[in-house]
Structure 1
């Protein structure tokens, strides 16, 4: 289970840096994350499979989202969300 949590945390870090358009080149980005470039591309591919419109912008030298998206994983209090949700 710890592996799953670490993967989710890594995706959250990638998402945060992509939103800030502060990833740098793929080599820089992998270094910032402390992972190999191969692992970086594996994570990006997983994100794409989950629907992330992520691409690399050569002018900005950063990964970016093609359109505004949100990413969240976790549980929330139904009462705080204004009522009941059906399953």
Structure 2
């Protein structure tokens, strides 16, 4: 269950970085979650420092500054 959550958050980060999320409804469908859950994920990511914004004209979420959200341990 935790790995499924991490996979969704990593996919969400990927889509945000590539500015290819679509509308909130479309994004929730892509991630196989409810819009309410999506808004919860976005809120948590923002609280952890992710500068997530939404462009109404392009209909996508994006990061206000260059970067990415990392959720796993990576050995150096």
TM-score by length of 2: 0.89
Q: Report what 2:34 is aligned to.
A: 36
SS at match of 2:27: helix
* In 1: Cα distance, 2:48 partner to 2:2 partner: 15
Give yes or no for contact 1:52–1:65 (8 Å, CA) kept in 2: yes
Work out which of the two has the higher radius of gyration on C-alpha atoms and give 1 or 2: 1
Instruction: Give the TM-score normalised by structure 1.
Output: 0.78
Gaps of 5+ in 2: none
Match of 1:12 among 10, 13, 21: 10
1:69 positional shift: 1.5
Q: Which has the higher contact order (CA 8 A, sep 6+)?
A: 2
Does the Cα contact within 8 Å between 1:11 and 1:47 map onto a contact in 2? no
Structure 1 residue 70: Cα displacement: 2.3
Within 5 Å, which residues of 2 pair with 1:46-65? 46-65=44-63
- Aligned position for 1:74: 73
